[in-house]
C-alpha cells in the first residue's frame, strides 16, 4: 500500500499542540516525522497530566506515528545533527518561542537559500512581523485576542472553549499550508515558507461574528449553549432531567415543530413567533412553552418526536458518552495504537479514504529513536557515546 506522503520527511521542533497536531496529520498520510525533543524532559506536553495509563492526554492525542530524537540544541554538536537532518528533509516545522529558531540558524530565508526545495513552516502566536511579533502566545490568550471569548459564554461572563481551539486552528492551517506547498513544489521544484499565526487562524474562524458586527453593529450576544441569533436552537431539559439539543433553520421546520413536537399547530402563526427574528426577540416566552411540553416527556420521547418531525437534534453527551458513541463504533472509527503505556484506543482521522489506509503507528517514548536516527546519519557507537558524554543527546 502507498500513502500520499510516503517518502516525505518532516523534521519538527515542536511542543504543546499546534505544531504536533499539524505533523501528526502529516504522519497519518505516511510522512516520516522526526520529532526533536529536549533530553530529560522532552515536549513539555508530556508532563501536562498522567490520565492515559500514566501518559499525558494531550501528548497521546497528537504524537502517534512519530520518531522521537533528543537533542540539546544549545550545544553545537546537537545543532550539527539537526542541520544534517534538515539538509535531507522535505519539510521543517517549528513552533518555538519567537526568535528561537532564527538564533539557531533556522530562519526560513537562510535555510531555503541553502536548500531550495525545502518547505519551512513557522507557527507562532502572531506571525513573523508586525508589532505583536515577539509576544508569547498561548491558546487562551489567542482566544481572547481573537474575540472568541467576547461571544462565548453567558450574558454574565465569557467562557473559553473546552479544548485548545486556537492551537487546533493553527495546526490545521499549517497542515493544509504544507500540503499546498508540497503540491506547488511538485510543479515548480521549489520549496516555500509557510508562516502561520494562531491569531490569523482563529480570526478566520471568527468570520461570522465579525461580519454580524460589521461597520460597528452590535456583536452576537453571549447566549451560553443556545445559538445567539437563531431560536429555538440550543439545549432544552426533558422531564427526566436529560438535555436535548435541537435546532430549527427555517419556517417549514418551525411549522412542523409546532404541529408534531409541541402538538400546538396554532403557534406557527402566533405573531410573537412567526419568523426567526420575532422568535429570537421573544425567546423567553417561547422557551417557557417548549419546556412545559417537554416536562411531560422523557429524553427518548422528546427525541422520538423530533426525529418523526425531521427536526435536527442531539443528546448532550459527556466524554463517557463520546467514548461509547454507537455511531463511531458502527463506522469502525476506532483502532489500537501502541504507546509507552501499552496499547490504547485511538480514533482514525476524519474522512474515509478508498485509496489508502491512514498510518496509525506507536506514540514514541522520549528519545526512542535517537540512536537509530544517528546511525542513519552515519554516526558510529563512538560518535554516539561522545554525544551522550557532552549531554548533546
Residue numbers annotated as active site: 227
State yes or no: cis peptide before 392, omega within 30 of 0. Answer: no
Beta bridge pairs of residue 312: 247
User: Are 182 and 191 in contact, with CB atoms under 8 Å apart?
Assistant: no
b/e 284-308 (16+ beta carbons within 10 angstroms → b): eebeebbeebbeebebeebbebbee
Beta bridge pairs of residue 120: 92, 193
CA-based nearest residue to 97, from 72, 122, 62: 122
Instruction: Please state, as a whole number, how many other Cβ atoms lie within 10 Å of the Cβ of residue 216.
Output: 5
Q: How far apart are CA 115 and CA 87, in angstroms?
A: 7
Distance spanning both ends of the chain, measured CA to CA: 35
User: Are 93 and 66 in contact, with CB atoms under 8 Å apart?
Assistant: no
Q: How far apart are CA 192 and CA 290, in angstroms?
A: 56
Place of cell 458518552: 321
User: Which DSSP string corresponds to 230-261?
Assistant: SSSEEEEE-TTS-EEEEE--SHHHHHHIIIII
Amino acid at each position: 500500500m502507498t500513502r500520499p506522503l510516503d517518502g516525505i520527511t518532516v523534521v519538527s521542533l515542536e511542543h504543546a499542540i499546534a505544531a504536533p497536531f499539524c505533523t501528526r496529520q502529516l504522519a497519518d498520510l505516511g510522512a516520516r516525522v522526526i520529532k526533536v525533543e529536549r533530553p530529560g524532559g522532552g515536549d513539555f506536553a508530556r508532563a501536562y497530566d498522567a490520565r492515559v495509563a500514566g501518559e499525558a492526554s494531550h501528548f497521546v492525542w497528537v504524537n502517534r506515528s512519530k520518531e522521537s530524537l533528543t537533542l540539546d540544541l544549545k550545544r553545537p554538536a546537537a545543532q550539527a545533527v539537526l542541520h544534517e537532518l534538515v539538509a535531507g528533509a522535505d519539510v521543517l516545522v517549528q513552533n518555538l518561542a519567537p526568535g528561537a529558531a532564527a538564533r539557531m540558524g533556522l530562519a526560513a530565508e537562510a535555510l531555503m537559500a541553502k536548500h531550495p526545495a525545502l518547505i519551512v513552516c513557522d507557527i507562532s502566536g502572531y506571525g513573523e512581523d508586525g508589532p505583536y511579533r515577539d509576544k508569547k502566545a498561548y491558546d487562551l490568550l489567542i482566544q481572547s485576542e481573537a474575540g472568541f471569548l467576547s461571544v462565548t459564554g453567558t450574558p454574565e461572563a465569557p467562557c473559553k472553549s473546552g479544548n485548545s481551539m486556537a492551537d487546533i486552528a493553527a495546526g490545521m492551517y499549517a497542515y493544509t499550508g504544507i500540503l499546498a506547498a508540497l503540491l506547488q513544489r511538485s510543479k515548480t521544484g521549489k520549496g516555500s515558507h509557510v508562516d502561520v499565526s494562531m491569531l490569523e487562524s482563529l480570526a478566520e474562524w471568527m468570520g461570522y461574528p465579525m461580519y454580524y458586527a460589521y461597520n460597528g453593529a452590535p456583536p452576537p450576544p453571549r447566549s451560553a449553549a443556545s445559538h445567539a441569533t437563531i431560536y429555538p436552537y440550543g439545549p432544552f431539559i426533558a422531564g427526566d432531567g436529560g438535555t436535548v439539543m435541537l435546532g430549527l433553520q427555517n419556517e417549514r421546520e418551525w411549522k412542523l415543530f409546532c404541529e408534531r413536537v409541541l402538538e400546538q399547530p396554532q403557534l406557527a402563526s402566533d405573531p410573537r413567533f412567526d419568523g426567526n427574528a420575532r422568535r429570537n426577540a421573544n425567546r423567553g416566552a417561547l422557551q417557557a412553552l417548549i419546556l412545559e411540553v417537554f416536562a411531560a416527556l422523557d429524553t427518548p420521547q422528546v427525541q422520538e418526536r423530533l426525529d418523526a418531525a425531521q427536526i435536527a437534534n442531539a443528546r448532550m453527551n459527556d466524554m463517557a458518552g463520546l467514548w461509547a458513541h454507537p455511531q463511531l463504533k458502527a463506522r469502525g472509527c476506532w483502532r489500537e495504537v501502541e504507546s509507552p503505556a501499552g496499547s490504547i484506543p485511538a480514533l482514525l482521522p476524519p474522512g474515509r479514504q478508498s485509496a489508502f489506509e491512514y498510518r496509525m503507528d506507536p506514540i514514541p517514548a522520549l528519545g526512542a529513536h535517537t540512536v537509530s536516527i544517528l546511525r542513519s546519519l552515519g554516526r558510529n557507537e563512538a560518535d554516539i557515546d561522545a554525544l551522550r558524554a557532552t549531554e548533546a543527546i
